[in-house]
Structure 1
Amino acid sequence: MLHFLRIFSALSLVSLLSACSVNGSYPDATEPDAAKLRFISNTQNSTLDFFDAQNCAGRTTGILNNFLMADTKRRVGMIVPPPEKARGLLEVKLAPGKPVFMRINTNGGNYVCAKAISFTPQAGKEYEVTFDMAEGSCITTFQRLLRFNGKDQRIPQPMFETPLQACAGSTPMFPKQIAQTPKRTALINTIVDTNVQVFKMMNPDTPVQPPSTPESLEEQIAKRKAAMGSFTLPEAYWTEYRQNFALLNEEAAAQETRTMEFYKEVYRYRLSVTEDAVLEQWLNPTDNITRDRVAANDKVMTAYYTNTRKSVMVEVINHHLARMSQLDQRFDVCARFDKCWHY
């Protein structure tokens, strides 16, 4: 996926520079509970585009930090302010509960970077995605914004990048998948299975330590009760409290399996747009062109695995935070205890 994004990352800049509006073509969502997203760029020539089945060519939101054009002034009245160091920013509204495929691009004198993120915004929530450069590399951070008791918080969000299947074959960015045949299916299955086996041998699973043991959890509960002082909660609260940590441990133990599911899905997608002649010699390349393609794919997929593994870990933690926050809301904990869970 990243390979395709890098090839065409400059297209958004070109199309935007020729567009009539500095604010781009993306219309803000109109739902009263729309989610809000802030895009911050600390690099030059940066754009944020949105794609869906009806807009496979993408819809632009403006341009940031370009010396030929003034920055877009798109704002949607977000509660949490941007960081003081933000070089350029724009804000948009997103339809709640609707999957989003967004692509960030930046284009410098000697570099081109692109990053795609797939996520589903929650109603009324605020998000922030930031693009930076550090030591010659492009760095993307994606966070949910929250104001609690007058304090602003930024909660890391997973950055999953999954193929937008609905747009396959619509534009060069979304290549057309080659029709499946029994032979292609067998080749792809063999390549994926072999790659996964080799990959696991070269990158053995890191044992996942349970976030909490029964002993440490009971100690945590005892300290929490002591901190609450005279404020006591029914046993039903503490029963669910323990259950939530049990779920956390279960999800943590399944992180590697979930990561590999994403990995295999994207690997299959990349192979689905690869010619038969290349697939036939994928495992044992006989020419330099195919050998280079396989090596480049391995490099991209290794980076994809590393990034996805981090995102799965963030997802597990966020699921736990959400469950604990809902628990404290139901028992009205935050009204009487300032160290309640909130997400």
Structure 2
Amino acid sequence: MFDFPPLRALGAMTAVAVLLSGCSIHGSYPDAVEPDAAKLRFISDLDNSTLDLFDTQHCDGRTTGMLNNMFMANSKRRVDMTIPPPANAGPYLEIRLKPGAELFMQTNTLGRSSVCTTRFNFTPQSGAEYELTFDYEGSRCITSLKRLHQANGQVVRTPIPLTNKGLPSCAGSNAIFPKMPSPQADTPERTAMIEQIVNESVIDSMTLEPGVAERVAAGVNLDKLIEERKQRVGFSLPDAYWDEYRQNMNTLTSEAVNNKARTLQLYKDEYRARLKRMDTDEIRKRVPDTDATDLTQALLTNNAMLQYYQQQSKEVLRESLSAHVARMADLDRRYKVCERFADCWKN
């Protein structure tokens, strides 16, 4: 989040421009017309909050209207969702989404003293209902997505991990989806320098300590977790269900151990890709401890890549959790658990 005086003026100017554009009430995004369209509620208390949707045919995005603008009433856009908003919900709008079609979504706020944006990929499911909230947590803006359903007369809101995979088909279309320069031709000298830079940039916290896998596995008491789950469910399920439940938990544990190695590989691949796009002289400046080393450039590049590593670490974790939720939701669907248990797994 950024906070400086020019943004206050920019925020006011943008609000006026959006109002005068005539498309601020409902935006440019048309509701999906499929009979099994998914429905999504966007809730936000933040100034000039917007939700933008991108796909392969709309790389410049489409808007759904604005919330909390000082010059107009809040959106009344609704799609008759079956589950009402929370009692303490702020202003909101509702839209219909084409099921099974991947979207790249962006939440944004442009206030009098701040601007904040989050982006993520999302594929809505047939007939599903969702709630997307956009708010501040401390000094950061946070976007949270939940799947809505009812079981035994109770409304259940199941969190969905959000991941940002971008939209490769839109690369080069605008500033949100930039096109990266082509890599330069490899030479033995360039390859050797790149490998040295990448390998020497790896710090201890990026590598997996010996014995971690064994310690993680030993610390997970699946028998206890499954027994507690049985007590919460409160009705009998066949052994085949619990065998698969155990298998899914083992898979999650295994992925948790492998996530660090996967993140490190993504880091190395990205670092190599960035260096390959540089001129040979620029690469030389980043090789540690040589006469050609430019310490400032080397530190800037390493710091940028450290931020990339930290971001990817979170993305890998979200992807792992998302896959786990999908496996568990499929299990509960096949055994019709959600019809009888409010806290079932939902994808």
Q: TM-score of the superposition, structure 1-length normalised?
A: 0.76
The answer to whether structure 1 residue 161 and structure 2 residue 169 are counterparts is: no
Corresponding residue to 1:286 among 278, 281, 294: 294
Could you say what secondary structure the match of 1:182 adopts? coil
Q: Which whole-Å CA distance do the structure 1 matches of 2:44 and 2:135 have between them?
A: 6
Q: Which residue of 2 aligns with 1:62?
A: 65
TM-superposition CA deviations, 1:6-58 (whole Å, max 9, x none): x9x97986874443222110111111111112111121011111112221111
Question: C-alpha displacement at 1:78, in angstroms?
Answer: 1.6
Which residue is equivalent to 1:301?
Answer: 308
Match of 1:25 among 19, 23, 28: 28
Identical residues among aligned pairs (%): 35
Give the SS at the match of 2:335: helix
Aligned-residue offset at 1:256 = 3.4
Aligned residue pair count: 326
Amino acid at match of 1:19: S
Distance 2:162 2:248 in 1: 24
Deviation string 1:293-327 (CA, Å, 9 cap, x unpaired) is 53663464255235324413531441343133134
Please tell me whether the aligned partners of residues 192 and 264 of structure 1 are also in contact (alpha carbons under 8 angstroms): no
| Residues 218-251 of structure 1: per-residue CA shift (max 9 Å, x gap) | 75588689x54xx6x5544444444444444444
Kindly indicate whether the alpha-carbon contact (under 8 Å) linking 2:104 and 2:122 is maintained by their aligned counterparts in 1.
yes
Aligned to 1:216: 224
Structure 1 regions of 5+ residues with no counterpart? 1-6
The letter for the 2-side match of 1:297 is A
The correspondence of residues 103-182 of structure 1 with structure 2, limited to 5 A, is 103-182=106-185
* Paired letter, 1:89: Y
Closer, same or farther: CA 33–294 of 1 in aligned 2, 3 Å: same
CA distance in 2, matches of 1:170, 1:326: 40
Work out the CA distance in 2 between the residues paired with 1:66 and 1:42. 10
1:49 maps to which of 22, 29, 52: 52
Shift in Å at residue 264 of structure 1? 6.3
Partner of 2:4: none
Q: 2:330, 2:33 → 1: CA distance?
A: 29
CA distance in 1, matches of 2:48, 2:229: 51
**AA of the residue aligned to 1:165:** P
The 1-side partners of 2:208 and 2:172 are apart by: 36
* Whole-angstrom distance in 2 between the partners of 1:12 and 1:297: 31
User: TM-score when scaled to structure 2?
Assistant: 0.75
**Which has the larger displacement, 312-321 or 195-204?**
195-204
Give the conservation status (yes or no) of the 8 Å contact 1:42–1:133: no
Partner of 2:165, secondary structure, is coil
Residue of structure 2 aligned with 1:256, choices 260, 263, 285 = 260
User: What's the counterpart of residue 314 of structure 1?
Assistant: 321
For residues 79-90 of structure 1, the aligned pairs below 5 Å read: 79-90=82-93
Distance 1:158 1:308 in 2: 9
Contact 1:107/1:113 (CA < 8 Å) preserved in 2? yes
Moved more, 309-318 or 195-204: 195-204
Q: CA deviation at 1:72?
A: 2.1
The Cα shift of 1:61 comes to 0.7
Q: Does the 8 A contact of 2:38 with 2:126 survive in 1?
A: yes
Q: Over residues 195-235 of structure 1, what are the superposed CA-to-partner deviations in whole Å (9 max), with x where a residue is unaligned? A: 5874552345585735854543675588689x54xx6x554
Corresponding residue for 1:4?
Answer: none
- Going from structure 1 to structure 2, the CA distance change for 1:79 and 1:257 (only over 3 Å counts) comes to farther
Give, in angstroms, the shift of residue 91 of structure 1. Answer: 1.3
Alpha-carbon distance in structure 1 between the residues aligned to 2:133 and 2:249: 31
Q: Is the 8 A contact 1:244 1:323 kept in 2?
A: no
| C-alpha distance 253-324 of structure 1, shift in aligned 2 (>3 A) | farther
Shift, 1:183, TM fit = 3.8
Distance 2:78 2:191 in 1: 46
CA positional deviation for 1:116: 0.4
The runs of at least 4 aligned residues of structure 1 exceeding 6 Å deviation read: 9-15, 186-190, 264-269
Q: Report which stretch shifted further, 173-182 or 250-259.
A: 250-259
Q: 1:162 to 1:128 in 2, by over 3 A?
A: same
> Which runs of 5 or more structure 2 residues have no equivalent in the other structure?
1-6
| RMSD across aligned positions (CA) | 4.0
